[in-house]
């Protein structure tokens, strides 16, 4: 059996069809044999979030039960160094990263065994090693599988469908057959030998079964909410034009409270400059769960992130800057000592100030690794929360005229407010306010606005007149004892045309477990016990990939919920989390601003808790469930009192 997974109509999909046809011609009938006998899967335009190379054109994996062979069309050597061309090669299994290059003859050159391609994205022509890119793709696939605890031997090859022929050993041209394809993949590393017989094998059968069950070999089907987000991304928005009119001549600041559409706006801007100009944008956030959410959306829309095509790459700021630290020789290789992060940011900025690093040095680094560093525009999410060292360094690495910064106004969770405008001419900064709450339905917006006023928060956003409705439920017993309520909100979710992935559960750190280097949440355990699969984002490994199944509910810690949204949002142990946040503030000193405002530590702690709370309360679109651990606690009483003010759409469940 051969199965293809991916969106049709692309060059990569057309090559995937060529791969399928070549294998079918090589082994007649292999496309229709049972999975137990032959299982070959082809994933097209695969995104591997969180790895050095995130876009893999084609991942080809197969496990064969019958004796299948191919005849080498080039010299292939075995583990002993012997040539294995005298007889056919036995094929047992394979995992191959395939890079597709549509370049014409004059845009391809071969130096020794290296294939280089020429590309132009900003008007200038540059050469880039397609071979190095393919090697990185192969390692990304292997690392992705290793993170799933699957140990296999991965291979690679390149396909040039616009070339009549190519001499590079690990590449094939148009009209390739199965012998040529498997030969190209086999030349990248030596083959196994058994009594002089060459064997193409990726690993043990049980490991290959796990490879073929990997999420990349599943079709990610968009939910109704996904489709709405996709349509929103492609919709006409005058604010996007205002952003793009300033980029290139100044820095843009998109300013609004939670739920006003800042993240959507920067995605829209990045999408538009890709579609119209082929530009490549980087969206930076420090929230891994949000990065996974945005990657799901770009994957559903099949938006690339490559140097040649342009597109959108989603990254986390610390991971991105650590790559720069390595290139600036501040750390060794892949060293990730996060305790040194502020010091490293300051050291990098100092290198610029003292002239130890100049603009031509930066350009040389970018040219040496364009996949990692070559971006036309940089979009910063939740920029108000970036420490000073990060903001200063990013402005040194990339011109401020390339920056668009989303400012969440009062949503500070990492420290004092960032000053992005420091050192920038006033006329070079443009602020675009977003006054309307676009996420929350009207009732939810009214509830959050009233609560913000009572608790002294500054959250202000005009209710969206086009989004009526919304329900608030305050639950005063453990969620595990409210299966009836859970079934009710799930039924309503499905009745509205949504899927499980459109539910978001937020949990406090006190309800997260850690064992054997892995984390899971009490909520995920509960839901899975009820038969509801989960994407448990409390585990860092889970956050490397986005939820590829619409049947999985999302679970994250409160600290990771910013920027996310759900049709239905459950805030588990909300008062417990607010109490935890307040206690964290009590452990540290007041800021200079708080001292000057004559704020005592107790007031500052309560404000800190509600700042976090407002982030969580602005995640839902339609239904908000707030579960309280102790209905007599200070924070719980504030919420319960608020319910009585909105009897038409808010209710208490005891």
Q: Which residue has the tokens 């006409």?
A: 236
Residue 589 pLDDT level (bands cut at 50, 70, 90): low
How many of the other CB atoms lie within 10 Å of CB of 270? 31
- Using CB atoms within 10 Å of the CB of residue 238, give its burial: 0 to 12 exposed, 13 to 18 middle, 19+ buried: exposed
Rg (CA), the chain: 27
Would you say residue 594 has pLDDT above 60? no
User: Mean pLDDT throughout 68-76?
Assistant: 92
Residue 417 pLDDT level (bands cut at 50, 70, 90): low
Residue 348 pLDDT level (bands cut at 50, 70, 90): very high
Which bin fits 370, alpha (ψ -120 to 50), beta or left (φ > 0)? alpha
How many of the other CB atoms lie within 10 Å of CB of 106? 7
Model pLDDT, residue 524: 97
Q: How far apart are CA 474 and CA 617, in angstroms?
A: 12
Would you say residue 577 has pLDDT above 70? yes
* Measured torsion, CA atoms of residues 292, 298, 303, 308, in degrees rounded to the nearest 10: -30
Instruction: For residue 267, give both structure tokens.
Output: 């995605």
Q: Which residues contact 93 (CB under 8 A, 6 or more apart)?
A: 61, 62, 63, 64, 200, 201, 202, 203, 205, 208
Lowest mean pLDDT among 88-102, 234-248, 327-341, 376-390: 327-341
Model pLDDT, residue 598: 44
Q: Which residues contact 428 (CB under 8 A, 6 or more apart)?
A: 249, 250, 251, 400, 401
How many of the other CB atoms lie within 10 Å of CB of 468? 10
Query: Do 224-433 and 442-653 share a fold?
Result: yes
Would you say residue 471 has pLDDT above 60? yes
Which bin fits 495, alpha (ψ -120 to 50), beta or left (φ > 0)? alpha
Q: Strand, coil or helix: what is 218?
A: coil
Q: Where are the beta strands (DSSP E) in 333-391?
A: 377-380
For 442-653, the fitting CATH number among 3.90.1150.10, 3.90.230.10, 3.40.50.300, 3.40.50.1970 is 3.40.50.300
- Using CB atoms within 10 Å of the CB of residue 594, give its burial: 0 to 12 exposed, 13 to 18 middle, 19+ buried: middle
Per-position DSSP letters for 519-561, written without gaps between them: EEEHHHHHHHHTT--EEETTSHHHHTS----TTPEEEEEGGG-
State the pairing for strand pair 108-111/114-120. antiparallel
Percentage of the chain beyond pLDDT 90 is 56
User: Mean pLDDT throughout 600-628?
Assistant: 90
CA atoms in the 13 A half-sphere facing the CB of 93 = 20
Which of 176, 138, 376 is CA-nearest to residue 274? 376
State the pairing for strand pair 192-194/197-200. antiparallel
Q: How far apart are CA 288 and CA 431, in angstroms?
A: 27
Query: DSSP letter at 188?
Result: T
Query: DSSP letter at 304?
Result: -
Query: DSSP letter at 87?
Result: S
For 224-433, the fitting CATH number among 1.10.10.10, 3.40.50.10420, 3.40.50.300, 3.40.718.10 is 3.40.50.300
CA distance to 135, 347, 353, 361, per residue, from 357 (Å): 30, 11, 8, 6
Query: DSSP letter at 334?
Result: T
Query: DSSP letter at 421?
Result: T
Instruction: For residue 593, give both structure tokens.
Output: 């601003």
Q: How far apart are CA 468 and CA 119, in angstroms?
A: 49
b/e map of 56-75 (b: 16 or more CB within 10 Å)? bbbbbbbbbeeebbbebbee
* Measured torsion, CA atoms of residues 599, 602, 607, 608, in degrees rounded to the nearest 10: 110
User: Mean pLDDT throughout 250-263?
Assistant: 87
Query: Are 378 and 269 a contacting pair, CB within 8 Å?
Result: no
Query: Are 177 and 20 a contacting pair, CB within 8 Å?
Result: no
b/e map of 241-265 (b: 16 or more CB within 10 Å)? eebbebbeebbbbbbbbbbbbbbbb
Would you say residue 464 has pLDDT above 80? no
Query: Are 441 and 289 a contacting pair, CB within 8 Å?
Result: no
Instruction: For residue 588, give both structure tokens.
Output: 């540290």
Instruction: For residue 458, give both structure tokens.
Output: 């500054």
Model pLDDT, residue 451: 93
Q: How far apart are CA 215 and CA 221, in angstroms?
A: 12
Q: How far apart are CA 122 and CA 21, in angstroms?
A: 37
Which bin fits 576, alpha (ψ -120 to 50), beta or left (φ > 0)? alpha
Mean pLDDT of all residues in the chain? Answer: 89
Q: How far apart are CA 287 and CA 634, in angstroms?
A: 29
Would you say residue 599 has pLDDT above 80? no
User: Mean pLDDT throughout 259-287?
Assistant: 91
Model pLDDT, residue 415: 53
- Using CB atoms within 10 Å of the CB of residue 595, give its burial: 0 to 12 exposed, 13 to 18 middle, 19+ buried: exposed
Would you say residue 47 has pLDDT above 50? yes
Q: Where are the domains of the chain?
A: 2-217, 224-433, 442-653
User: Mean pLDDT throughout 587-605?
Assistant: 65
Which of 252, 304, 299, 246 is CA-nearest to residue 275? 304
pLDDT tens digits for range 371-415: 899 999 999 988 877 877 888 899 999 999 999 998 876 555 555
User: Mean pLDDT throughout 64-81?
Assistant: 89
Residue 154 pLDDT level (bands cut at 50, 70, 90): very high
pLDDT tens digits for range 511-542: 999 988 889 999 999 999 999 999 999 998 88
pLDDT tens digits for range 438-459: 788 999 999 999 999 998 887 7
Model pLDDT, residue 643: 94
Query: Are 155 and 95 a contacting pair, CB within 8 Å?
Result: yes
* H-helix or E-strand spanning residue 491: helix 483-495
Percentage of the chain beyond pLDDT 70 is 96
């Amino acid at each position: 059996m051969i199965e293809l997974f991916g969106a049709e109509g692309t060059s990569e999909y057309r090559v995937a069809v060529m791969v399928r046809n070549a294998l079918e011609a090589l082994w007649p009938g292999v496309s229709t044999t049972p999975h137990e006998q032959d299982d070959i899967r082809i994933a097209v335009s695969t995104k591997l979030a969180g790895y050095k190379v995130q876009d893999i054109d084609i991942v080809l994996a197969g496990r064969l039960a019958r004796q299948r062979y191919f005849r080498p069309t080039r010299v292939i050597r075995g583990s002993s160094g012997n040539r294995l061309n005298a007889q056919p090669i036995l094929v047992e299994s394979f995992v191959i990263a395939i890079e597709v290059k549509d370049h014409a003859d004059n845009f391809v050159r071969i130096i020794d065994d290296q294939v280089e391609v020429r590309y132009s994205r900003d008007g200038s022509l540059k050469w880039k090693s397609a071979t190095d890119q393919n090697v990185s793709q192969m390692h990304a696939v292997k690392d992705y599988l290793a993170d799933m605890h699957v140990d296999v031997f991965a291979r690679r090859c390149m396909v040039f469908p616009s070339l009549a022929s190519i001499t590079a050993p690990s590449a094939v041209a148009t009209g390739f057959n199965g012998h040529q394809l498997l030969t190209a993949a086999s030349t990248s590393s030596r083959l196994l030998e058994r009594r002089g017989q060459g064997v193409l094998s990726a690993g043990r059968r049980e490991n290959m079964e796990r490879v073929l069950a990997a999420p990349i070999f599943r079709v990610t089907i968009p939910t109704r909410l996904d489709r709405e987000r996709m349509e929103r991304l492609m919709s006409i928005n005058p604010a996007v034009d205002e952003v793009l009119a300033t980029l290139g001549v100044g820095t843009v600041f998109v300013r609004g409270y939670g739920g006003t559409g800042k993240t959507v706006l920067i995605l829209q801007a990045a999408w538009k400059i890709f579609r119209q100009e082929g530009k490549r944008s980087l969206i930076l956030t420090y929230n891994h769960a949000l990065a996974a959410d945005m990657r799901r959306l770009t994957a559903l829309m099949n938006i690339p992130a490559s140097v040649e095509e342009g597109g959108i790459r989603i990254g986390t700021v610390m991971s991105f800057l650590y790559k720069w630290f390595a290139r600036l020789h501040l750390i060794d290789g892949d060293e990730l000592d996060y305790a040194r992060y502020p010091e490293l940011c300051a050291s990098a900025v100092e290198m610029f100030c003292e002239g130890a690093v100049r603009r031509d040095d930066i350009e040389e680094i970018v040219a040496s690794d364009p996949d990692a560093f070559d971006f036309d525009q940089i979009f910063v999410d939740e920029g108000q929360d970036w420490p000073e060292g990060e903001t200063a360094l990013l402005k040194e690495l990339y011109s401020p005229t390339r920056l668009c910064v989303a400012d969440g106004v009062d949503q500070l969770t990492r420290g004092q407010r960032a000053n992005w405008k420091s050192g920038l001419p006033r006329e070079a900064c443009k602020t675009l306010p977003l006054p309307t709450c676009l996420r929350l339905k009207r009732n939810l917006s009214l509830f959050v606005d009233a609560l913000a006023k009572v608790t002294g928060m500054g959250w202000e956003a005009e209710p969206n007149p086009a989004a009526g409705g919304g329900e608030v439920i305050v639950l005063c017993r453990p969620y595990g004892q409210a299966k009836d309520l859970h079934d009710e909100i799930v039924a309503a979710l499905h009745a509205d045309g949504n899927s499980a992935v459109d539910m978001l559960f937020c949990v406090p750190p006190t309800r997260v477990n850690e064992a054997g280097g892995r984390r899971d949440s009490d909520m995920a355990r509960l839901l899975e016990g009820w038969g509801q699969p989960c994407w448990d984002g409390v585990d860092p490994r889970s956050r490397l990939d986005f939820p590829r199944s619409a049947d999985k509910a999302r679970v994250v810690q409160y600290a990771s919920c910013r920027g996310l949204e759900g049709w239905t949002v459950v805030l588990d142990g909300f008062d417990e989390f607010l109490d935890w946040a307040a206690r964290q503030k009590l452990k540290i000193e007041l800021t200079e601003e708080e001292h000057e405002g004559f704020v005592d530590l107790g007031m500052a702690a309560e404000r800190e808790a509600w700042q976090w709370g407002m982030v969580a309360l602005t995640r839902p679109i339609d239904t908000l469930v707030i579960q309280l651990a102790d209905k007599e606690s200070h924070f719980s009483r504030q919420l319960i009192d608020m319910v009585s003010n909105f009897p038409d759409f808010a209710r208490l469940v005891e």
